[in-house]
Amino acid sequence: MIRFLTLFFLFQLTLFGCQNNNDSQINDIVENKNHFSIFKYEINSIKNLFLERYGFIEADNEVEEIKKLLIDELYNQDMDYIFNIIFPTPEFTVGNSPKLLVTSPRNKIERQSELLINSKIDLNSIEKIEKKIKDEENLSSVVIDIGGIAAYPAIVKESNNPKKLFLTFGHEWLHQYLIFYPLGRSYFSDIKMKEINETLANIFSEKLLISLCLKEFELKEAICSIKYKEKNEFDYSNFMKNLREDVDSFLLKKKILAAEELMKEATLELNNNGYNIRKINQAWFAFNGTYADSPSSTSNVDSELLKFIDNQSSLKEAIDKLKNIKSSKDYYNLIKDSAEIKK
């Protein structure tokens, strides 16, 4: 518990200088009762962790097992540790992950202001917020569910899928780790740094999963099973890539209403094919496009990072080099130098 509290306060001090300050334009539009407070969450988490550690409330055995698998894999990858303890110590709470309000200009896809929203907000309130932002600010906006937040302990959305939990744990742990280095602290400096951080966290967790699945363990079938696409199954990835290209084309030609109508029609088609997506618009693409390995993205950062990581002697070596970049210029220089050395 003392170790946890020490890490908690270290994390708060480090995070204090890295906060995103670009959400002022939407702060006042959302009622205070619908704001999500990271500070209140973390105080409550400390209380629950104390009660759990001393047996007053029961821990989720599967969540604890998945956390142990992550810790073992972090040791296996030789990630940083102090006195034989992984740093930062992986800590997660699985439950009501907040929602995120994201905005984008209507005439282009660009992630702008964002605000954490209470997970218990009702659909009517969400739609009122999105309408008000459009009417008053002429911005596209969407309130979306998110997989997790790299607070300390990290907030992870509840899931019955052990594989998804492992990947989210790995993703959020890397964010926790990187906040102590220039790359993580530069998260909010511009959209490219946000994209690099998020895409790297996705790739990192996938690499951990691949390594984990080479071993034998109790949850292996649940975590490592692969679902193969059936012959006539709807191709979500191809559909989304084509949609993004068409939307970008309309916006480039200043056909904003046509782009928005196309996204409405696409939302209906996706839902008819079993995908539960409430709304696709410019803000939805702006958020999902931050993850360069997503079909919603037009970025090459995922392929650049994969190639860079595969050219290093280990995942740890790749992270050690990447964690010290402070800007997109540093990133491109590192990628370029690595490619030239490989030649």
Confidence of residue 8 (pLDDT cuts 50, 70, 90): low
Is the separation of the CB atoms in 104 and 111 below 8 Å?
A: yes
Average pLDDT, the chain: 89
Q: What is the mean pLDDT of residues 270-283?
A: 96
Res 9 pLDDT > 70: no
Nearest C-alpha neighbor of 269 from the set 231, 230, 242, 229: 242
Look at residue 18 in the predicted model and tell me its pLDDT: 46
Q: What is the pLDDT of residues 180-199, one digit of tens each?
A: 999 999 999 999 999 999 99
Percentage of the chain surpassing pLDDT 70? 90
Q: What is the pLDDT of residues 224-255, one digit of tens each?
A: 988 766 666 889 999 999 999 999 999 999 99
Q: What is the pLDDT of residues 70-104, one digit of tens each?
A: 999 999 999 977 777 888 889 888 987 899 999 99
Is the separation of the CB atoms in 172 and 150 below 8 Å?
A: yes
Q: Which residue has the higher pLDDT, 250 or 39?
A: 250
Three-state secondary structure string covering 163-199: HHHHHHHHHHHHHHHHCCCHHHHCCCCCHHHHHHHHH
Look at residue 55 in the predicted model and tell me its pLDDT: 79
pTM of the model: 0.90
Q: What is the mean pLDDT of residues 279-297?
A: 96
Nearest C-alpha neighbor of 306 from the set 209, 212, 200: 200
Confidence of residue 24 (pLDDT cuts 50, 70, 90): low
Q: What is the pLDDT of residues 127-170, one digit of tens each?
A: 999 999 999 999 999 999 999 988 888 999 999 999 999 999 99
Look at residue 322 in the predicted model and tell me its pLDDT: 98
Look at residue 250 in the predicted model and tell me its pLDDT: 98
Percentage of the chain surpassing pLDDT 90? 71
Q: What is the mean pLDDT of residues 107-116?
A: 95
**Separation CA 218–CA 69 (nearest Å):** 10
Q: What is the mean pLDDT of residues 306-333?
A: 96
Cis amide linkage into residue 295, ω under 30° from 0:
no
Strand extents, DSSP E, the chain: 81-82, 85-86, 92-95, 99-105, 114-117, 139-145, 148-149, 154-157
Look at residue 230 in the predicted model and tell me its pLDDT: 65
**Separation CA 242–CA 222 (nearest Å):** 32
Res 21 pLDDT > 60: no
